[in-house]
Amino acid sequence: MNKWEELDKKYIWHPFTQMKGWLKNPQLVIDHGDGVKLYDTDGKEYLDAISSLWVNIHGHRRKEINEAIIAELNKVEHSTLLGLINEPSAELAEKLVEVTPEGLNKVFYSDDGSTAVEAAIKIAFQYWNYAGHPEKKDFINLGDSYHGDTVGAVSVGNVEVFHKAYKPLLFSTHRVSCPSFYHTKMDVRSEKEFLDALLKELEDYLKEHASHTAAMIIEPLCQCAAGMLMQPKGYIKGVRDLTKKYNVLLIVDEVAVGFGRTGLMYACKHENVLPDMMCLSKGISAGYLPLGATLVTDEIYNAFLGEPTEYKTFYHGHSYTGNNLACAAGLASLRIFENDDVIAGLPPKMEMIRQHFERINAMEFVGDARQCGMLGGIELMRDKANKVPFDPGLLMAGGICQNARKYGLIIRNIGDVIVFMPPLCSTPVEIDEMLSRLTKSMEEIF
């Protein structure tokens, strides 16, 4: 055990980690990164197939982003947005408005995905007071949704294993069926039938309850942290049409799926949807520094305008809101998107994933290998024909991911789903290598 592992095990409590197992097992200490590679303290190379928890876009130690942060650091490291303006946050806000759906014109900064969602929940709640409907206070969410770990974000989430311990602490929501065709227990024979059933269920609820519903929150196209659950085509558009018809706000959480992950700059673009609010984080600073943003329409923003004595202020903010360095990283990242035409370069990479996933899907213990652009999930099943999962105690997917380290691959699982999220800058050759290494590990464990 080297010095850092000793210190870590003595002092650090890791996120989402059963520390008993952590302390017992040898752990990897990362020393540095370069492009899509990470290196441990012994100099061993690993391909980063999870983009350092879905945040990295243009690779590690990308020159242009390093330089932008250093340039800002040489001016000022942080200057509060409370009562002051800073240059990078203003410029980044303009760019964010440019690259997101037309109509989202105001940016509220926060620190991460959870706080971007937390801000959206509070904005929705408060908005209806000023829009003449103070009775609209409730929220609709999706089955198996994950929107972060702060108390509000957990309230609108419901991945049983993550959230059940906190139930007494949370506000209640109305949960509609999880829109995953592979997992549904509904009696439907096709994706189209499934879509119709989902939208009917939502409309039936809205007909009765829209009058007291403030907003619906969805993670569009793919519910990532729930296990890469894909939605039927037309779902986000259908949800938008219904929420509009029944005067309920639509919050889209693009924390994981934004910034090119699904093959377009943002996921709503696949179905030309304009939400009322969009939550962004992760890829926003290309994986460099914590930053979140909640984008809203003019209609929402304008409802909060008033005299100080009207108390319409949005009473919310964080010490590091709009941090200079994080915003400088975000700006540099968006410049790379433009200069390198990152989105236009994605199809051959997505095709490489598709080819591997087709092969992986045919493996004996793979129930479903599903892809959406530059993200994918490989769900394991003991009996694929009857969709019988492995005993969770076997830790099949976890074992495969752990074993993959031997082959120089860093990848993670959520339950028995292996999550594949390479940096967008990965070349087809690098993606080929990542998925070949994963396959080797799978074959060995199977």
Binding site listing for pyridoxal 5'-phosphate: 113-114, 253, 318-319
Nearer to ligand PLP, 35 or 113 (CB): 113
One character per residue 180-199, x = contact with ligand PLP (rule: CB under 6 A): --------------------
In this structure, how many other beta carbons lie within 10 angstroms of the beta carbon of residue 374?
Answer: 23
What is the smallest separation between the CB atom of 35 and ligand PLP, expressed in angstroms? 23
Write out the binding residues for ligand PLP, residues 196-255 only, by CB under 6 A: 219, 224-225, 253, 255
Q: Is 112 in the site for ligand PLP (CB under 6 A)?
A: yes
Nearer to ligand PLP, 253 or 379 (CB): 253
> Quick one: which segment of 66-74, 127-135, 143-151, 183-191 binds ligand PLP (CB under 6 A)?
143-151
Please say whether the beta carbons of 445 and 396 come within 8 A.
Answer: yes
Q: Is 47 in the site for ligand PLP (CB under 6 A)?
A: no
One character per residue 248-287, x = contact with ligand PLP (rule: CB under 6 A): -----x-xx------------------------x------
> Quick one: which segment of 140-148, 236-244, 318-326, 346-354 binds ligand PLP (CB under 6 A)?
140-148
Binding-site residue ranges: 113-114, 146, 253, 282, 317-319, 412
> Quick one: which segment of 42-50, 112-120, 171-179, 207-215 binds ligand PLP (CB under 6 A)?
112-120
Write out the binding residues for ligand PLP, residues 371-400 only, by CB under 6 A: none
Nearer to ligand PLP, 52 or 211 (CB): 52
**According to CB under 6 A, which one of 147, 240, 349, 437 is a site residue for ligand PLP?**
147
Residues in contact with ligand PLP, counted by CB under 6 A, come to a total of: 14
Nearer to ligand PLP, 284 or 409 (CB): 284
Q: Is 433 in the site for ligand PLP (CB under 6 A)?
A: no
Binding footprint of ligand PLP on the chain (CB under 6 A): 112-114, 117, 146-148, 219, 224-225, 253, 255-256, 281
